[in-house]
Structure 1
Amino acid sequence: MTESSLTYFRPPADPYGAFCQENHVAVAATARGPLSGLSFAIKDVFDVAGSGTGFGHPRWLATHAPAAETAQAVSRLLAAGADLVGRTVSDELCYSIAGENLHYGTPTNPRAKDRIPGGSSSGSAVAVAGGVVDFAIGTDCGGSVRVPASYCGLYGIRPTHGRIPLHGVARFAPRFDTVGWFARDPEVLRRVGAALLGETRGGGFTRLVIAEDAFARCDEATRTVLEGAVARLASGFAARASADLGPDGLDGLDAWLETFRVIQAHEIWTSLGAWIAAEKPVFGAGVGQRFAAAAQVGAGEAEAARARGEAIADELAARIGVGDLVVMPTTPGPAPLRTTASSEVETDYRRRAMGLLCAAGLGRLPQLTLPVGTVDGAPVGLSILARRGKDMDLMDVAARAGFGVPAPPERK
């Protein structure tokens, strides 16, 4: 990247606190293509040549040299015609789904200003929901695209694991790490998907499957809203079924979550533990507690969990048919209020949400959250899930479903 390639020398107007200031970067599209005329933002985990990646923490930014190369996902979007206008705030080293950052603050959720935006791709979701950019990319390991998309009333997708290269993306937990993206418009979501994934499809869907154990984890008011959205989707299917996503109802999902937690924690500490031990960075309470717990996961425990994880992946591959579209809540309810104690958000609510979110990660499956309604004025999302490789098919469903996203608030 040369100085002449920069199209914006300052972050865009940002009434929501979504954009990084210290390591702002912007790059014009490198070619004309299917995304020409669209603007996008990137989470603070993607490398851009000549710029520093902060990984949501000022100490990381200070101890890492500017990137030599641009992340492949970013390069694909620039080559497809989109303009990069800024880098967005992330939770500290991505180890949270709340969107609260001790060092950079909490971006404002444009759709529910009294509630948290969700994370760790908080700034990316907020920039899209606020109308600052047309779309944005983030990463999703345990729910870091799906959660803020649901909380901010957006379309958001976690693609099939491994379909988008992670070259130039900060390493976290490789068994689960994916590049995901947000949009207000399902057609834009699909256009971005084609640029990142290609147009390969898996044959569409013939049966709608309702994940009963997942819905049982929901707040009652949220379940009511989501059931209305499910009925709308179901009208397009002659074949419908209900089944538990996990093997033993809620107990099965809880067991899956524990397997996910151990694998993720061990991989995160393997990726980041040496740097944390050397630099002793300051973390917010919840993030710091999780890193401390991750340091205690032994190799034997992790190996046993990995074996269980592979068995779960095989089970999901066997149970979800080629034509099955699985529907489930994205999160148990709307975003918690900003006044909610951090300990409650980071423990009780996180665990309830992760029990829903872990299935796609363990199964390496694509999952897309749809903005289907509100509870107490705050957005809630309904997820559609499918077999590996059916990412574009999910985006086709989203485009046909026609769930609308309100226009962004007028910026003053």
Structure 2
Amino acid sequence: MTSASAPNLWVLLGLSLAGILLMTKKLKKAVKVDFGAFVEKLQLLPPPQPAPPKAPHPLTGLTFAVSDLFDINGFVTGFGNPDWQRTHEAASQTSAVVSALVDGGATCVGKTVVDDMSFGISGENRHYGTPTNVVAPARIPGGSCSGAAVAVAAKLVDFSLGVDTVGGIRQPAGYCGVFGFRPSYGAVSHLGVIPVSTSFDTVGWFATDPSILHRVGQVLLQGSFTGQRNPRNVIIADDFFQLSKVPINRLTQVVIRSTENLFGKQVLKHEILSDYIASRVPSLKALDYNKSNGDAKFSSLKSLANIMHLLRRHEFSHNHFDWINTVKPTLDPFISAHVQEKPELSDKDIESFKAIKNELRVALNALLKDDGVLVIPTVSSPPPKLGAKELSSQDYLLTEFSLTVLASVSGCCQVVVPLGLYDNYPVSVSLLAKHGGDRFLLDTLQTMHASLVQKLADEAGKSKSPKDVSKEAAAETAKEKGNAAFKVKNWPKAIAFYTDAIKLNSNTATYFNNRAAAYLELHSFHQAEEDCTKAINLDKKNVKAYLRRGTAREMLGFYKEAIEDFRYALVLEPTNKRAAMSADRLTKYYQ
């Protein structure tokens, strides 16, 4: 090496180190404590409980978040865009639906991220950051109500509110692996909610538990829930499953077996739904795609999807074009491409679209009647990668819209039912009921859920080899040995047993959490922090892991991070004295 090249080497080394430091900072910021779900934290507390013998409020003890589309008194409704927030005043009253939930006993804890002006479908927001898909961090969370879905998937709240226009609840629910409910059009009040497309906008909600989905429905859906009715028809839309990249058996077998088990084989039916729609919605024929330019089988669906897209653009522009044209805000390129020019639909076009909407509702109501459930895929594929080019392609939009169009255009109700993972990505099906069949659909989900979970476990068990089962059993045995060693304060032996358990089964948070406790006793704080982080990644509600990581970080001198851990433990368990004392002590001395 010449002497002249030595300075260049030092420059390269310096740049490399700088790059490593920048990358480390980026990685540290990549997944926030709240997974980037929130744009604003707040607290709306419910009224005091009524005195006995009156029943407590129906949502007592539950927390929820709202997409940044719902007015809350004293806060600006941001609509996913900082220019909108800058040019609008704070709301003077809280939206009707949020007020109803708080009056029902739930506590609102914040506002969540939506796509820019709630128009996208990816869940990515260039202004506020993209919420992290908890199950698949390198993939999109889905939009428009991405933050609300992520807040539920990460178990930061018990449920959350969003608006579904062309899939704003259903798609993120499918991509994030949570339940999502889009009620019948007009079933829930829109007062105090920013409109996107008034023909399609429907207030809906996310949850990880169908019983919570049901409890929220009891508060928000008009009228009372009547006696339980079992479905007499469960219709599998066979052709719709051909639009999915997930094997049909992986999606339908669990539903089929659960239905047979609960209601009998005679209840199951199969339908080529695209043919049914083509025959029952005559106004579509004049608008069908040229069958030589595409798949004739799905031309009716793609025509419906195109109509939905055009009408959404038209109504969005009617609502917001003047503001966009006056303020000239910074918009996401995808949204800018669709809304910068005001689309003009003729009165004849509007009337044709209304006729199609009415005909589709009549057709689906005739198919489902009062006691029928339709089964379709929720989304066509696993969540695409963040920033993928396909997200802005016409093919991707039309394929996804072909699955969301039924409920959006007909106004019928739809619930997303997660069915575990396929190739490490969430998969789900959707159940649809006729317009106005919301209570029946939520009741049916509750009836079927335990059976679906059991059948899903049976399928998973079949796919496990005896070797896998024996490994899991051996891991539990190793953990118990580690616990015994821990009790007699033999920390190194406990660590050895927990390590054996992890080698046999690395998907269990308890093993990492227990090993972290033993490392703390040996003052091995780096190892304890690392194990706690792994435990938290596996179980987002692991209070002990947050407490132990906070302790490890405090001992390592990472006081800010330790305070965040103790405070987050308090979010999960507000009465935890250790977390409260540690957070207060560190805040007093180091902030």
State the TM-score, normalizing by the size of structure 2.
0.64
**2:583 maps to which residue?**
none
Contact 1:273 1:295 in 2 (8 A): no
Give the CA deviation at 1:337: 1.7
Q: Distance in 1 between matches of 2:343 and 2:87?
A: 21
Give the CA deviation at 1:225: 1.7
Q: Distance in 1 between matches of 2:146 and 2:419?
A: 20
Return the match for 1:91 from 75, 95, 115. 115
Q: Is structure 2 residue 53 aligned with structure 1 residue 27?
A: no
- Percent identical pairs in the alignment equals 34
Match of 2:385, SS? coil
Change (3 A) 1:16 1:316: same
Q: Distance in 2 between matches of 1:92 and 1:304?
A: 30
Contact 1:209 1:324 in 2 (8 A): yes
**2:301 maps to which residue?**
253
Contact 2:66 2:161 in 1 (8 A): yes
Q: Is structure 2 residue 291 aligned with structure 1 residue 243?
A: no
- For residues 332-364 of structure 1, what are the alpha-carbon distances to aligned partners after superposition, in whole Å with 9 as ceiling and x for unaligned? 1221122522x5455432221111101101111
**1:232 maps to which residue?**
257
Which amino acid in 2 is paired with 1:391? D
Match of 2:114, SS? coil
Give the CA deviation at 1:48: 0.6
Alignment of 1:10-25 (within 5 A): 14-21=33-40, 24-25=41-42
Q: Distance in 2 between matches of 1:148 and 1:394?
A: 20
Which amino acid in 2 is paired with 1:223? I
Q: Distance in 1 between matches of 2:145 and 2:202?
A: 12
Give the CA deviation at 1:243: 1.2
Contact 2:183 2:412 in 1 (8 A): yes
Which amino acid in 2 is paired with 1:229? V
Return the match for 1:207 from 212, 233, 251. 233
Match of 2:330, SS? coil
RMSD: 2.1
Q: Distance in 2 between matches of 1:300 and 1:279?
A: 32
Give the CA deviation at 1:151: 0.7
Q: Distance in 2 between matches of 1:293 and 1:408?
A: 44
Give the CA deviation at 1:81: 0.3
Contact 1:259 1:309 in 2 (8 A): no
Which amino acid in 2 is paired with 1:381? S
Q: Distance in 1 between matches of 2:393 and 2:160?
A: 25
**1:279 maps to which residue?**
327
Contact 2:256 2:268 in 1 (8 A): no
Change (3 A) 1:409 1:290: farther
Change (3 A) 1:240 1:168: same
**2:53 maps to which residue?**
none
Q: Is structure 2 residue 305 aligned with structure 1 residue 288?
A: no
Worse overlay, 228-237 or 111-120: 228-237
Alignment of 1:13-412 (within 5 A): 14-21=33-40, 24-32=41-49, 33-197=57-221, 198-201=223-226, 203-219=229-245, 221-235=246-260, 236-237=262-263, 238-246=266-274, 247-248=277-278, 249-292=297-340, 295-338=343-386, 340-341=388-389, 343-345=390-392, 347-400=394-447, 401-402=449-450, 403=452, 408=540, 410=542
Give the CA deviation at 1:317: 2.3
Change (3 A) 1:294 1:227: farther
Which amino acid in 2 is paired with 1:240? L
Task: Give unmatched runs, 5+ long, in structure 1.
Answer: 1-12
Match of 1:25, SS? strand
Worse overlay, 382-391 or 197-206: 197-206
Contact 2:229 2:440 in 1 (8 A): yes
Contact 1:45 1:169 in 2 (8 A): yes
Contact 1:368 1:385 in 2 (8 A): yes
Q: Distance in 2 between matches of 1:112 and 1:391?
A: 31
State the TM-score, normalizing by the size of structure 1.
0.90
Worse overlay, 60-69 or 233-242: 233-242
Q: Distance in 1 between matches of 2:299 and 2:311?
A: 19
Give the CA deviation at 1:282: 1.5
Change (3 A) 1:344 1:53: closer
- For residues 280-308 of structure 1, what are the alpha-carbon distances to aligned partners after superposition, in whole Å with 9 as ceiling and x for unaligned? 11211211112146634444433332232
- For residues 66-97 of structure 1, what are the alpha-carbon distances to aligned partners after superposition, in whole Å with 9 as ceiling and x for unaligned? 11111010011000100000100100111111
Q: Distance in 1 between matches of 2:339 and 2:399?
A: 20
Q: Distance in 2 between matches of 1:207 and 1:31?
A: 44
Q: Distance in 1 between matches of 2:84 and 2:250?
A: 41
Which amino acid in 2 is paired with 1:20? V
Which amino acid in 1 is paired with 2:406? A
Contact 1:135 1:183 in 2 (8 A): yes
- For residues 137-179 of structure 1, what are the alpha-carbon distances to aligned partners after superposition, in whole Å with 9 as ceiling and x for unaligned? 1110110001111111101100011011100000111111111
Contact 2:121 2:142 in 1 (8 A): yes
Q: Distance in 2 between matches of 1:172 and 1:393?
A: 28
Contact 2:306 2:398 in 1 (8 A): no
Contact 1:214 1:245 in 2 (8 A): yes
Which amino acid in 1 is paired with 2:125? N
Which amino acid in 1 is paired with 2:259? A
Contact 2:68 2:112 in 1 (8 A): yes
Q: Distance in 1 between matches of 2:33 and 2:317?
A: 34
Q: Select the structure with the greater relative contact order (CA < 8 A; seq sep ≥ 6).
A: 1
What is the aligned residue count?
Answer: 396
Q: Distance in 2 between matches of 1:328 and 1:294?
A: 34
Give the CA deviation at 1:205: 1.5
Give the CA deviation at 1:203: 4.2
Change (3 A) 1:28 1:217: same
Which amino acid in 1 is paired with 2:34? P
Contact 1:317 1:363 in 2 (8 A): no
Contact 1:95 1:287 in 2 (8 A): yes
Q: Which has the larger radius of gyration?
A: 2
Q: Distance in 2 between matches of 1:184 and 1:346?
A: 31
Which amino acid in 1 is paired with 2:243? R
